[in-house]
Structure 1
Amino acid sequence: MNSEPKTKLGLIDDAACVRRAKELLAELNVDLDPETPVEQLGVGYWQLTEIAKALSYDTSILIMDEPTSSLTKNETEFLFELIAKLKQRGIAIIYISHRMDEIFRICDRITVMRDGRHSLTDDCANLTMDTVIEHIVGSQVGEAFEWVERPYDTSGEPVLKVDRLTAGTKVRNVSFEVRRGEILGIAGLMGSGRTELARALFGIDPIDSGEVWIRGEKRKIRNPSDAMAAGVALVPEDRRTQGLVLDHSVKDNILVTILSKLRKGVFVDDREGNRRAEQFVRKLSIKTDNIFKKSGLLSGGNQQKIVIAKWLAIEPDILILDEPTIGVDIGAKTEIVKIIREFADSGKAVIVISSELVELLAVSDRLLVMHQGEVRKQLRRQQIRNEEELQHAIQNI
């Protein structure tokens, strides 16, 4: 956009545009048809398209804001190789990320911001990860990402049973169960069908065949209303376009799923609505001046907690979270992991889809690995010792 090749007549040269786009995508090692509408792509490909667009300009300073948030490990490696090449060409890079391992791996200096103010700047060689995290959150972070084996009820009917579910071309013959109090993690490469599975279970995408059983009862999930009535909630992968109305207040976003419960005749009980919204703000530690502040003015972590609060408000039995820690700082990640654990500890079922393998390993009791729309592996958490072993399980199918 804004750098299209032109013909001698001053018109856009479509063929040259396609060739140039292919060259830029090839630099990122991305095999993608340049003429594919972006709305048909997953969030990870949006990210890669943005990076390719930035490279299309003759730039001397490149700012990358969470560039790997939706990328797989291989795609991230390609990006790091590209960053090294750009540095050799003399391009200055500002790399904004919440992933500390990436920061220490590719950056020369680190600047930490907290609450809108400068907290620290120093060479990477002079800093430890613990020091940086302390400056980010203002205190030491506990052991939130260490997995602890959790007891949960394995007897009786599962809360959710999915039997040979097929939805479109991305979900094929998928079967699994989730028990009361269990956290089921779903791993896989970008495009493996994880998000499409969540969308089908929530009624966004139509189910072509297969059965969904909830609390021992066969349910028809034709739309999100059916899913909500069955006790299913979905925190989507992109909070800004799918989870929030950014121009609306914290209160409005939290209460949007339960407005019918707050009605008194034709009116909404504002006093009760305020009470419930403030209750969730306190419970989830949402940092906001007040419940009437626009959601778009809050940080990514606080926006994500608003989306979670919105779905917790319906008191679901099954909570599906798609990339729940994407693009949030280490402090907010710690709080979100705590929220997930507490929800499961209350006897509810949780499904977590994540490309953040550290967080996935921290919360999951069992894991499914998806590939090309199918469940290829089911693993007990005890079978996986570290992130490298899970990455190996994902890539070697």
Structure 2
Amino acid sequence: MGDTEPNLQNYNWCEDDSGQETEEYPIDYEIMASPNDFNILTIFNFIESGTVKIPGFQRNYVWDIKRASKLIESLIIGLPVPQVFLYEAGKNNFLVIDGQQRLMSIYYFIKQRFPKLEKRAELRKIFEKHGKIPDDMLHNDEHFAKFNLRLPEPSPDKPNRFNGMNYSTLGEYKSTFDLRPIRNVIIKQLLPKDNDSAIYEIFNRLNSGGINLSPQEIRMSISHSDFFDMLSRINTNEEWRKLLGLPDPDLHMKDIEILLRGFSMLIKGNEYAPSMMQFLNGFAKDVQKYDKQTNSYFESLFISFINSCSDLDKELFFGSSNRFSVMVFESIFTIACKKSYSKQQLISGNIDKESIQKLKKDEAFISFITGKTTNTKYVRGRLSRAEDIVRVV
């Protein structure tokens, strides 16, 4: 029951190696799928309590009131509706994979408020932050209208008995609606045990909305943390945007993934093993434990790195195709920050321009940023060459 959207994924502003992972990512999963028939009131309470979450990578609520009303009518009179798929991310923590529009229609109907079209992007952010819509916002007429069912009338002399009703005026049908079961399929990844990689595949293959999402879009929801909030802040840094050659943040968060990758190499690069996607997923889990002081230090370290690039032309971070190179950046960033990070200090000098020029002409380094660049040998090889050549003066 989702509306198909085009795949807007486009990383043509940077040289990226994620495309190689298609061939290197044949993971065998062990998945448990458990069907459950939760009644509507139980589902509503799950959403209210935050047990069932609409993750941030889901699109805005897009149904109009007529379509939402037809769903509610179907539930009242007992017509079948499509099942909902939930991903079990943890104890009492379920993410909606497929069925967001249906669940939100039910949620809004019980709340007796329907979101205005022009406010839905704003409401999506509020819902993601709080897990629900605060009551004061629900009663704000700038954002919501009354949710009275809007259903077609078969004929003037045969009015639809539910047309114009709301949740509180359902009368004898209210308990019927509340107790109507909806089939929920709960999906849990059993193997591999050390990551949630299945949700990336499941969402993009199963979701009826037809949305192809980047790994970072999903990562930002299932592994959200204060560290990710910090990455989002530094991603708007004016000098960083200039280095990228991209004035505005990337729609699919590739720029934030580049930052995540830089920090992952700085902090855990010696533990790297492919695939890059799995490595970043694991690192995203690790940084959820970082406290405010740690995140503040990394933010300051990044700013000191940006300041150390003041003598560098942005083209020095570009690859052979004259686009920003993820591999060149991660190498320079990791080595420029390495000594300062080991002492929990900030970079105090400038990155030597000639050393970067020398690095980019180095045959060994060039070989490590071409070919199978997410292979362990290539990742460690380019970091090693950068450590030998890059200087901060």
State the TM-score, normalizing by the size of structure 1: 0.20
Q: Which has the higher contact order (CA 8 A, sep 6+)?
A: 2
Please state which structure has a larger fraction of its residues in strand.
1
